[in-house]
Amino acid sequence: MKTKKLSLTFFALILLFTCTLCGCSFSGKTPDEIVKMRLFFMDNKYIIHACGMISDEDGNEYDYTNSKEALTNSLNNGNKIIEIDFHYTSDHELVCGHAWGDLYLDGKQLTPGEAPTLSDFLNCKVQNKFTPLTFEDVTKFMEENKDFYVVTDTKETDIETYKMIAEKYPDLSKRFIVQIYHASEYDDVKKAGFPYIIYTLYEATEDELTEKALLKAAKKPLIGFTFHSDLASDSDFVYTMLKTKTPMFVHTVNDDFLIDEFLNMGISGIYTDRTDLVTKATE
């Protein structure tokens, strides 16, 4: 992750900074609201992954909990952008979580891959320790905390999910930054009422990762592209991303040294399990 692969030219860094800050896009001037949201992400730097790391009473740390305790902890630490995983219970209720096997009902682990009913979900503990969240719980947190934004991870859902959210919670549509997994999803999400969209590349096919495909995707006013940190060590890929003139985010990085490396090379923001970085930056 060092040497040539992490090394961008001075010109490339200036190009990235200028185009990101000024809101340039491949197709022309980027709408002002998109520029403002890009700057908000750049200013905050950190997207807290799956509600962030949380410790139990014995000091053991857990990631991927998407739990009430983790979300509360992230907000209490001053974080403003929090990524949350969503999926449906067996009776089609939208709830938070990464995998059903993370849940325990009466001390017994649920069957991995098998969705519970909402009733059972509400009686579960995440990792047998933490309180699960429903989508409605998240909206209540958003109503109580007006200055934080949710990045969605809803790969098991479809466009009907976003239509439901927009219809039921129209006042919150601009506080959800929707992650899409394929460029073809952009128009439907935008039409559903969500102007802020990130294109995450971890499900992209080889054809979708070509320079031609990425430049075409960047014609839409994205908040940014996000991709695994390993791709940021591929100089050819990074130069292609620079050509899109769109902010870049990497996931999931917890190491201080690597976080500094990525930010110094021009990456706009970091997905991280750490919840202490904002506090640390102000110390």
pLDDT at 101: 97
What span, in angstroms and rounded, lies between the C-alpha atoms of 143 and 137?
A: 10
Q: How far is CA 276 from the centre of its chain?
A: 17
The Cα–Cα gap between 227 and 237 comes to 11
User: For residue range 175-218, what is the model confidence (pLDDT) as tens digits?
Assistant: 999 999 999 999 999 999 999 999 999 999 999 999 999 999 99
DSSP state of 65: -
- The percent of residues in the chain predicted with pLDDT above 90, rounded, is 83
Rounded CA gap, 1 and 60, in Å?
29
Say if residue 24's pLDDT is above 60.
no
pLDDT at site 282: 56
Q: Which residues contact 72 (CB under 8 A, 6 or more apart)?
A: none
Reference 221, options 13, 35, 22, 19; nearest CA is 35
Residue 249 vs residues 122, 198, 199, 253: alpha-carbon distances, Å: 33, 9, 10, 11
Give the tokens for residue 152.
């969605």
Angle at which helices 10-22 and 235-244 pack, to 10 degrees?
Answer: 30
User: Can you read off the two tokens belonging to residue 79?
Assistant: 């974080």
Residue 50: pLDDT above 50?
A: yes
Q: Please check the confidence at residue 236 and state whether its pLDDT lies above 70.
A: yes
Q: What is the pTM of this model?
A: 0.91
Considering only 68-77, 151-160, 165-174, which range has the smallest mean pLDDT? Answer: 151-160
227 bridge partner residues: 250
